[in-house]
């Protein structure tokens, strides 16, 4: 009996200690803006998505300012298959013809964007879907058709694929300060009202740069950048920009990891100091990454100073 009481007391003390430790982290990160990129691959796992959104609600509840930018590549490919359209990727970007664009708009800016905001609200947080679908136009990403060149220097045709050139920072800032989580789909609009499909990693990069984020965290379905993409034990904990470029050139970093790492490098150059690629399927990986020193994925860093 006495032993059981002592065990219960010990458990209560440990819980209180954890809370007190958490208080320190929470204080340190109050008011800090973190851009969280939700990848389509992790969103396929409903359980993982639910846990991630609860973590985001926690961050917002304790005074951090999380901003969600999301993709949805897997869901778009599924909807294309249902419509009998074969996906075709060029340099990690989806070739987007008229029919594909309307699927991207429906799935990404419609279903997924509204769905994430609704789930955040269901978990007790407040969220605002920022899209141009429906009667209320809340779009914050503006841009133009992307210009990509092939290996031989030729111009590549990707159809309605865009890049973000301007972010409406005021709308995002106002929502953050009002305690609402902005939820942003990876589509943009040009001056003539044309809509474009944007790679979600580069959209997250544009948002992080525009709002001067403290951190940019990419949540994916792998534990980070690996030396061998199929071997989780080959995780690279810290990746310098020169090494990242080398791994892209040698083909170690391939497919969907290319735009992600390229976005990291471009963001580093624009002054966002903390950039991480982590496994969103790992329970509380986001909180661990934001609030502790536990390295749970790959951190991308600039070149260490010589000497
Ligand atoms: N070197 C690498 N390390 C880890 N993953 C890699 C690497 N090269 C390619 N990949 C692939 O990149 C994928 C992540 O990119 P992507 O599918 O676009 O994810 P997301 O939907 O999260 O943006 C991984 O699932 C993996 O298959
Ligand atoms: C131009 C382009 O490739 N757009 C992406 C947008 C979604 C995305 O990037 O989703 P993930 O984050 O899940 O990869 C696409 O159509 O798949």
- Tell me the ipTM for this assembly: 0.96
- The answer to whether residues 107 and 131 touch, using CB atoms and an 8 Å cutoff, is no
Q: Pick the ligand that lies closest to the CA of residue 72.
A: 2
Q: Pick the ligand that lies closest to the CA of residue 226.
A: 1
Least confident of 19-28, 158-167, 183-192: 19-28
Q: Is 138 annotated as a binding residue?
A: no
- Is the per-residue pLDDT at 51 higher than 90? yes
What local confidence, expressed as pLDDT, does residue 180 receive?
Answer: 97
Q: Which two tokens stand for residue 52?
A: 């991630």
- Is the per-residue pLDDT at 307 higher than 60? no
At 82-95, the pLDDT tens digits run: 999 999 998 789 99
Ligand 2 centre to CA of 70 (Å) is 9
CA 56 – CA 67 distance, rounded (Å): 9
Q: Which residues pair with 219 in a beta bridge?
A: 38, 278
Instruction: Classify residue 91 as left (phi > 0), alpha (psi -120 to 50) or beta.
Output: left
pLDDT band at 305 (very low <50, low <70, confident <90, very high): low
| Residue of 48, 107, 256 to mutate, ligand 1, most atoms within 8 A of C-beta | 256
At 206-255, the pLDDT tens digits run: 999 999 999 999 999 999 999 999 999 999 999 999 999 999 999 999 98
At 30-41, the pLDDT tens digits run: 889 999 999 988
- Looking at every residue in the chain, the average pLDDT score rounds to 92
The SS3 assignment for 36 reads strand
- Of 259, 274, 187, 184, nearest to 220 by C-alpha is 259
Residue 104 contacts by C-beta under 8 Å, 6 or more apart in sequence?
Answer: 76, 94, 96, 187, 197
172 against 296, higher pLDDT: 172
CA 158, 160, 165, 167 dihedral sign is negative
CA 145 – CA 188 distance, rounded (Å): 10
| Domains, the chain, with CATH or none | 29-301 (3.40.1160.10)
């Amino acid at each position: 009996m006495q032993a059981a009481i002592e065990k219960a007391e010990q458990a209560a003390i440990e819980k209180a200690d954890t809370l007190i430790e958490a208080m320190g982290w929470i204080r340190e990160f109050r008011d800090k803006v973190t851009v969280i990129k939700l990848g389509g691959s992790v969103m396929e796992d409903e359980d993982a998505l639910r846990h991630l959104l609860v973590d985001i609600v926690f961050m917002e509840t304790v005074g951090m300012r999380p901003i969600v930018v999301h993709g949805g590549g897997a869901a778009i490919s599924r909807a294309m298959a249902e419509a009998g359209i074969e996906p075709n990727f060029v340099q990690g970007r989806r070739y987007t013809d008229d029919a594909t664009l309307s699927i991207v708009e429906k799935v990404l800016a419609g279903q997924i964007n509204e769905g994430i905001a609704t789930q955040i609200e269901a978990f007790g947080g407040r969220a605002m879907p920022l899209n141009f679908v429906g009667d209320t136009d809340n779009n914050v990403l503006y841009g133009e058709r992307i210009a990509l060149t092939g290996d031989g220097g030729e111009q590549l045709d990707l159809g309605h694929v865009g890049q973000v050139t301007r972010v409406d920072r005021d709308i995002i800032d106002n929502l953050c300060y009002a305690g609402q989580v902005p939820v942003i789909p990876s589509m943009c609009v040009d001056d003539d009202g044309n809509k474009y499909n944007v790679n979600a990693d580069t959209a997250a990069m544009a948002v992080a740069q525009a709002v001067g984020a403290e951190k940019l965290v990419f949540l994916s379905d792998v534990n980070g950048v690996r030396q061998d993409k199929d071997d989780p034990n080959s995780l690279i904990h810290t990746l310098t920009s020169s090494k990242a470029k080398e791994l892209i050139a040698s083909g170690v970093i391939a497919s969907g990891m290319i735009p992600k790492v390229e976005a990291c490098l471009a963001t580093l150059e624009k002054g966002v100091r903390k950039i991480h690629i982590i496994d969103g399927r790992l329970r509380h990986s986001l909180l661990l990454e934001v609030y502790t020193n536990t390295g749970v994925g790959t951190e991308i860093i600039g070149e260490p100073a010589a000497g």
